[in-house]
Amino acid sequence: MSEEIQNINLQLNEVSEELIQVVSFRIANEEFGIDIIRVQEIIRMVDITRVPNTPDYVIGVINLRGKVIPIIDMRRRLNLVEAPYTKETRIVVIEEEGKVVGFIVDSVSEVLRISNSITEPPPPMVSGISSDFISSIAKLDGRLLILLDLEKVLMNEEVEEQESKE
């Protein structure tokens, strides 16, 4: 094997062993994760002020230390069956491309370090959740962790459709 091919193989091995840290949480019976770099904080449920004329999954806004942030119900966003909030329900506050948003999740589990080598692209349909929102799936010991693509989760179809008509 040429030296150039060996160097490429070494680089590929290094990339596949790259570790990422994710915050894992549950929505319905599924376990999801997002890159910890995007997570600003995790808070308990608070009173949410409803806002008219928003997509149905945006249930309102909260005042977080003087900053008003929109709150997305992830069950609605992922087209899952709605359930009442419990003492385990949390708001995961994330930042994606300058947007600060809160995601309501059923519970937050843990912070995990996972290798890129145990992830793979999603199949076309996973548990009724559109694969559009999924960046990859990590195969952990006896369980699957669905890694969300925040950019697509935050995309507003109504806005996108309106912009494409103009």
Domain ranges of the chain: 20-151
* Tokens matching residue 10: 């070494």
Q: What is the pLDDT of residue 75?
A: 92
pLDDT single digits (tens) 128-147? 555 678 888 888 888 888 98
Strand, coil or helix: what is 54? coil
- Residue 89 in contact with residue 73, Cβ under 8 Å? no
20-151: CATH architecture:
Beta Barrel (2.40)
Instruction: Compute the distance between CA of residue 82 and CA of residue 85 in angstroms, rounded to an integer.
Output: 9
User: 10 Å Cβ neighbour count for 61?
Assistant: 17
Question: Could you tell me the CA-to-CA distances from 39 to 43, 91, 130 in Å, in that order?
Answer: 11, 11, 23
- Residue 21 in contact with residue 99, Cβ under 8 Å? no
User: What confidence category does residue 15 fall into, taking pLDDT thresholds of 50, 70 and 90?
Assistant: very low
* Tokens matching residue 110: 């843990």
- Residue 96 in contact with residue 85, Cβ under 8 Å? no
pLDDT single digits (tens) 41-98? 999 999 999 999 888 899 999 999 899 999 999 999 988 899 999 999 999 999 988 8
Q: What is the pLDDT of residue 3?
A: 55
